[in-house]
Amino acid sequence: MSLSDRRRAGQAARERVPLADHGRWHPAADRPDPIGLLEEQAATRLPQLVPLRYGRMATSSFDFYRGAALPMAADLATMPQTGIVTQLCGDAHLSNFGLFASPERTLVFDITDFDETLHGPFEWDLKRLAASLVLAARSRGFTEQDGRQAVHRAIRSYRTRMAAFATMRAIDVFYAHVDASSILGVADKHARAFLQDTIHSASHHDAIHELPKLTAVDAAGHRRIVDRPPVISHPAEGTFGAVGDALAGYRDTLQEDRRVLLDRYELVDQALKVVGVGSVGLAAFAVLLLGVGDDDPLFLQVKQAEASVLARFLEPSAQPSHGARVVIGQRRLQAASDVFLGWAVGDLGRHMYVRQLQDQKGGAVIAAMTVDDLEVWGELCGWALARGHARSGQPAEIAGYLGDDTTFEHALADFAVAYADQTEQDHRALVDAIASGRVTAQDG
């Protein structure tokens, strides 16, 4: 199919599902109870960590939103769908974008979380991003117009970047990336200091930096990960070997040269390390490996992967495991992926994926953002998302659907405000459920 044919296919989809239709959010009469959906997820998680998940989600409406990918997926499934399919991040809120080091050791800006990745309608990622911007604006006390403006800039960034990708050769889209110098180039003077601080912080967050923060030398002279319950703790006896077995299977999913690199390191210690909000309760291990000396550490994260929350409403993954689904989705969407990215099946049949725990990573500190910072971060998220969708989907079809005016931006701003209102109601429902004793929450 030619580019013009794909563009016309996008335009035909716009006739079936007008752009303005995306702005209308009304909960269905039979909308599932969002707390019930969270309880369903809790049934397959480590029971001792479930209260911590509820505690983190109860902190604010934005934190609730971070953990509520399943309730939102259920809501998106009731809305008009374009049928234009690409590889979705699946959880594209603004905290799941950031800086990290490429294999060439340059800092790039991209999507950073792929636990929910799956093929689906491209607009689902954009709606997830848009509502997160409004919620972040509200959490900072910004005006409703500030939140709308952040959405407009993010979606306009996506639309204009997608239009450019639609005219490029496929190989050029594949090689496109958003590096540190590029993000400073698009920032106005009011947001440049925030981005420079983020870049500076990311460049110093590596394994050497994390070594004294996460570990200590014990009385026997061995370096060990330090327990800081409930966030970091050594698991019960017997799990250590299981993680080692998972790493052995994981090795086979790496390229041969990276297997050679991994073999230069020895497994020294591992501990459960709680991460994020939505992932709390899944088995996630921080694994310490050492090379030729104490100054040659490698930290890996071995994290459990369950079925994507989108799989209830879309076609299931064709990959052999959920760890493979996460890794392959990440490789399709990211411009440059971690050299140690791979997957395995762990103890009790748990599907796992593996990546470096820290490799010059830097994310959005929402509590420190100004209005300008939020708008620029949203623009960068829109840019990175457009590049990932263009790389894994058909950019001309998406560009044909979006057109060249601001209709889609206005629609998603309307949706984002309405869905932020919905999220605040759902957040209150969780707080009430904790107060009534329906669910138990723990700070941490």
Kindly state the average pLDDT of the residues 308-335. Answer: 96
Share of residues in the chain with pLDDT > 90 (%) = 78
Query: What pTM does this model have?
Result: 0.95
pLDDT (tens digit per residue) in 154-200 = 999 999 999 999 999 999 999 999 887 777 777 676 667 777 887 76
Say yes or no to pLDDT of 360 above 70: no
pLDDT at position 103? 76
366-369, Cβ contacts within 8 angstroms, sequence gap of 24 or more: 366/62, 366/94, 366/95, 366/136, 366/139, 366/140, 367/140, 368/194, 369/136, 369/140, 369/194
pLDDT (tens digit per residue) in 266-280 = 999 999 999 889 999
In which residue are the tokens 């599902």 written? 17
Could you write out the three-class secondary structure of 376-434? HHHHHHHHHHHHHHHHHCCHHHHHHHHCCCCHHHHHHHHHHHHHHHHHHHHHHHHHHHH
Residue 202's pLDDT band, with cuts at 50, 70 and 90, is low
d(CA 423, CA 66): 10
In which residue are the tokens 């590596």 written? 206
